Chains A and B, each alone.
Chain A
Amino acid sequence: MDKFRMIFQFLQSNQESFMNGICGIMALASAQMYSAFDFNCPCLPRYNLAYGLGILLVPPFILFLLGFVLNNNISMLAEEWRRPQGQRGKDQAVLRYMFCSMAQRAMIAPAVWVSVTLLDGKCITCAFCTSVPVKTLGNASHPSLSQGEMKRVLARIPCKEIYDGQELIANEVAVRYLRCISQALGWCFVLLMTTLAFLVRSLRPCFTQAAFLKSRYWSHYIDIERKLFDETCAEHARSFAKVCIQQFFEGMSTDLAATRCHPPRKAPADAEEASEKLLGITDQGTMNMALKSWHRCKPPLHLHPPALPSGNGWAGEGQPPTHPPVPQRETAAYYSRV
């Protein structure tokens, strides 16, 4: 128990660094996914915009939801939100704190995706190639084309192999222009995100420090309480099972003694411990019968049953709590008075 407590304390005091670690891994995974992704611009007038903006915006949304899913605390938040009030009031500030801290961490991987995409430039080049200012960048001497024809030609800018508008506007010029815009947007986005993060972090101590300390304490508390409760229930179940099984074997042993008219032999002092562990079952046939009986007719989940005439009853002393199995999470009646 001591070792467990030590590890638990370490994790607890480092829960933030654990979550930050997961955040960092997701951010790296996001960058890696982008580089592994094979970007293929369709090079068709209306499809380009849809594809480019889709690649820019849909994966971040998925990563954001994934950030929530991978966070263990989401179920804790949901439980705290939906539980009946009972004897313990609900603190909205705690719920908000939990949600905000989860949302902040979930935002990192999508922000990385969007930054990497913009700094790379392929998405914006694909999406906005039909909007390149041909008049300023293109060759003025070229005869004018119809709108549709021009769009069709410009849409092929990202696909160098099939681009046929070199006289209209040089491919490299257009790509450089779009890339420059994309990278400028990317760096502005990065700057904006870091500024927002900085403001959020630095304004908090100036305004809401006391409320923050309170919310943080109680959200940690809820987490610890849940874990300790699970642990206590597991311990309880273990003790319960131990007593139950012990009573079963003792019942079997009593039955056997009754059917064979053998008085339970008292083992010599030095082998007492071992024979106690055998619980009165000392041969193959008896063991087989015990196993069959366990399978066909498990004992009731009720330690200390009343003294019954049948041999299976046992009215001896039990171990820890004698009330029914793992208490169910029902309603207010079971909430602590604290």
Chain B
Amino acid sequence: MDRFRMIFQYFQSNSESVMNGICGLLALASVKMYTCFDFSCPCLPRYNMAYGLGIMFVPPVALFLCSLILNRQSLVMLEEWRRPQGCRKKDLAVIRYLCSSIMQRAMVAPVVWIIVSLLDGKCLICAFSSYVDPEKFVGFASASPVQVQQLLAKVPCKDDELMRNNTSRKAVSRYLRCWSQALGWSIMLILIVAVFLARWLRPCFNQATLLQARHWSNYIDIEQKIFEETCCEHSRLFAHKCILHFFESMRQEVKLHSFSLPREGEGAGGEDNLLQGITDQDQVNKLLKMWYYEKPPLDVSQATQR
């Protein structure tokens, strides 16, 4: 029991680090997925834009939803938001705090994907190659407008027979890549500055409220974990009692049929206390319903006085 308590305490004190760990893993998974993904631009006039921008924005949405799903706190927040008021008032500051912390963590993996794809450049080259100004590039300046569109659309495909040895293709490619990387680095710089300022300036505003919100959001998380554990412990004891009753009833039947001496039942005094007088299905159901509809007030002193 001691060891179990130790492990539990570790998780309690580190639920934030567990979430940060998941966040980091997803960011790494995002980079890995991008490198494993075989980007192949269709090199056709209208398809390029859809493909390029699709690859840049659809996976981040999926990663964002994934982060929300994997984060346990999002469930905690939703439950706290939707529960009936009961005896415990709802604190919107806590819900807001939970929401913002979840969102911040969920945004990491999508932002990593977008930045990596911008720094790599393939997405932007594919999406915008048809939209560069052909006048700037020698090879494309002399062709007719329709031909220019076709040629520019093929720029991302190095191995295409028309583009294989075309130096203007490389020029367009370099030009777009330069823009893409500049955009990538700028976004990264802006984000890091924003995060830095937010963390630095936060203590200047509402620090006390923040401390309270953080404390009570931790509390809600821990309370739910302990409730689940207590339910597990209770169901184990419930099952134990149930099976003992079952064997006892069998014993009674045998006693009726064969007149052998009955054996004394095992004492379960200590466990009776843990069962807390809840010994049948209806009582357990009522307990669970009460827990949801009317959470007890956050005032333990009354419980000890009772």
Residues of A within 8 A of B (CB): 2, 5-6, 8-10, 12-13, 119-121, 137, 170, 172-173, 176-177, 179-180, 183-184, 187-188, 190-191, 194-195, 197-198, 201-202, 205-206, 209-210, 213-214, 217, 220-221, 224-225, 228-229, 232, 304, 320-324, 327, 334-338
Contact = CB atoms under 8 A, between A and B. Distances in A.
Given A198-B65, A221-B238, 13 more contacts: A8-B236, A180-B47, A184-B54, A201-B75, A205-B75, A209-B292, A210-B288, A221-B235, A224-B235, A225-B239, A228-B243, A338-B238, A338-B280
Contacts of B65: 191, 194-195, 197-198
B1 interface: yes
B288 A214 contact: yes
Contacts, number: 160
Contacts of A13: 228-229, 232
Interface residues of B, number: 67
A191 B58 CA distance: 7
Contact of B246 (A201, A321, A324, A335): A335
Contacts of B293: 210
A9 B236 contact: yes
A2 B1 CA distance: 8
Contacts of A336: 242-243, 245-246, 249
Interface string B40-76: 1111100100110011001101100110110000110
Contacts of B235: 217, 220-221, 224
Interface in B189-244: 228-229, 231-233, 235-236, 238-243
20 contacts: A6-B1, A13-B232, A172-B157, A176-B42, A180-B41, A187-B54, A188-B58, A190-B62, A202-B74, A209-B292, A214-B288, A221-B238, A224-B236, A228-B243, A320-B263, A321-B251, A321-B263, A336-B245, A338-B241, A338-B281
A201 B160 contact: no
Interface stretch (B78-86, B132-140, B174-182): B78-86
A12 B75 contact: no
A105 to B, nearest CB: 13
Given A187-B59, A338-B241, A12 B246 contact: no
